[in-house]
């Protein structure tokens, strides 16, 4: 159970990183679009020189702009999973795309200060700054630089060279962005809600009883049910134009299925409790193999996978009272709170004896 709680905690942090990172990502995209509009009159060319027919004396000047961009923890987590399943590294493509757009804007802003409207011989240089082998987040610097020509007198004539407006191309439609797909968003939100529900059931339950499954929870059933839910969801996502690629389905399933499985654990307990008859105290006899055999043969034999030290210290044949109930889901559950109190008392007495011996 402790491992499950830790898993829920890690998944919750990853999902929080997704929503926080998405907010910063959208804010940066909006900022880029605003700044691009402000410098849209500054033209950039790959050719080395302006129109040779210009008779004005020109002074060349270097203009440059650089940007350092990093990804958030959630996108880094998804890119790590890509190493195992393969596919397009859209996270890194988007990283370099945003860095290049920011570098172009800053280069144009510098040219704007010199009152020039054209930059020639524009080039880009990309440099990774992080060491991912040491667990650092991916960071990249993009440097955009070119030559702006400033006339000595008067204004530079408008260039007669053929010009196409510089537009940062969007990725092809076939290359999906997981975070913009509606089915992926539903899966992520569902995963977050399931994780929150499981945490609340674990830590903030105000029930007077500590209900447990007799002989353990049917985890295999819960895993299978979670897999079926995921398969049905992905089949539904194949309809229409907004489809998810297989690699993204695998990544989302790795997040969704464990949370759904843990949620089934608590949902089944809750449903069985609501539909069960009142808790009834039954008498069990402790056996030599540390199992509890009921006096009523219609009740299940109980095996405890924990607290063996306590049960071995008890006398074989002694009567143990267990509060049981059975609900609509046809499995038995018991109230572990009285047993937990006995466990605590037993271990406290053992500690006191050890202190006296010392």
pLDDT of residue 330: 83
**How confident is the chain (358 residues) per 10-residue block, as mean pLDDT?**
64 69 81 90 84 65 87 65 66 83 92 85 86 69 88 47 39 51 77 83 62 85 89 74 70 85 87 85 87 88 82 86 87 85 85 76
- Output the pLDDT for position 106: 92
**Residue 46 CB contacts under 8 Å (≥ 6 apart), including other chains:** 121, 122
What ranges do the domains of the chain cover?
A: 39-175, 180-275, 280-357
State residue 136's pLDDT score: 67
Q: Which pLDDT score is estimated for 104?
A: 93
Nearest residue to 292 via CA among 346, 215, 216: 215
Q: Concatenated DSSP letters for 81-106?
A: HHHHH----HHHHHHHHHHHHHHHHH
DSSP state of 160: -
Distance (Å) of CA 249 to CA 109, 173, 256: 42, 18, 10
The pair of structure tokens assigned to 132 is: 């991912």
- What is the pTM (predicted TM-score) of this model? 0.50
pLDDT at 163: 36
Contacting residues for 247 by C-beta, under 8 A, at least 6 apart: 82, 85, 86, 87
3 state SS for 274-322? HHCCCCEEEEEEECCCCEEEECCCCCCCEECCCCHHHHHHCCCCCEEEE
Q: What is the pLDDT of residue 159?
A: 39
Residue 161 has what pLDDT?
A: 32
39-175: CATH homologous superfamily? Hypothetical protein apc22750. Chain B (3.30.110.70)
For the chain, the first-to-last Cα distance in angstroms comes to: 34
| Per-residue pLDDT at 345 | 87
Tell me, what's the pLDDT at 107? 93
pLDDT at position 290, please?
82
Q: What gap in Å lies between CA 64 and CA 147, rounded to an integer? A: 9
CA separation, residue 357 to residues 72, 343, 346, 347 (Å) = 55, 21, 17, 15
Query: Of 90, 82, 81, 75, nearest to 138 (Cα)?
Result: 75
DSSP character string of 34-69 = HHHHHTTTSEE-SSSS--TT--S-EEEEEEEEEEEE
Residue 205's φ and ψ, nearest 5 degrees, are: -70, 135
| pLDDT value of residue 10 | 66
**Where are the alpha helices (H) located in 118-245, listed in sequence order?**
182-203, 219-237
């Amino acid at each position: 159970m402790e491992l499950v709680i830790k898993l829920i905690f890690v998944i919750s942090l990853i999902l929080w990183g997704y929503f926080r990172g998405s907010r910063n990502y959208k804010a940066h995209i909006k900022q880029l679009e605003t700044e691009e509009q402000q410098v849209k009159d500054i033209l950039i060319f790959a050719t080395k020189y302006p129109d040779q027919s210009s008779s004005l004396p020109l002074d060349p000047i270097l203009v440059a702009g650089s940007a350092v961009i990093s990804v958030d923890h959630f996108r880094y987590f998804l890119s790590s999973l890509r190493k195992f399943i393969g596919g397009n590294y859209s996270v890194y493509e988007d990283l370099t795309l945003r860095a290049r757009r920011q570098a172009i804007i800053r280069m144009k802003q510098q040219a704007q200060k010199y009152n020039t409207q054209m930059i020639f011989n524009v080039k880009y240089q990309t440099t990774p700054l992080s060491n991912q082998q040491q667990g650092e987040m991916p960071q990249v610097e993009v440097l955009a630089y070119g030559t702006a020509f400033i006339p000595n007198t008067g204004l530079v004539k408008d260039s007669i060279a053929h010009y196409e407006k510089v537009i940062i191309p969007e990725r092809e439609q076939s290359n999906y962005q997981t975070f913009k797909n509606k089915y992926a968003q539903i899966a992520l939100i569902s995963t977050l809600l399931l994780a929150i529900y499981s945490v609340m059931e674990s830590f903030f339950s105000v029930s007077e009883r500590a209900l447990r499954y007799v002989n353990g929870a049917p985890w295999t059933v819960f895993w299978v049910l979670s897999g079926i839910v995921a398969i049905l969801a992905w089949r539904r996502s194949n309809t229409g134009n907004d489809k998810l690629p297989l690699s993204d389905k695998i990544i989302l399933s790795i997040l969704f299925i464990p949370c759904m499985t843990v949620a089934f654990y608590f949902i089944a307990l809750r449903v069985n409790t609501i539909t069960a008859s009142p808790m009834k105290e039954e008498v069990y006899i402790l056996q030599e193999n540390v199992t509890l055999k009921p006096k009523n043969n219609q009740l299940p034999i109980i095996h405890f996978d924990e607290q063996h030290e306590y049960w071995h210290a008890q006398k074989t044949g002694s009567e143990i009272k267990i509060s049981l109930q059975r609900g609509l889901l046809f499995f038995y559950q018991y109230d572990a709170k009285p047993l937990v109190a006995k466990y605590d008392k037993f271990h406290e007495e053992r500690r006191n004896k050890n202190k006296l011996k010392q």
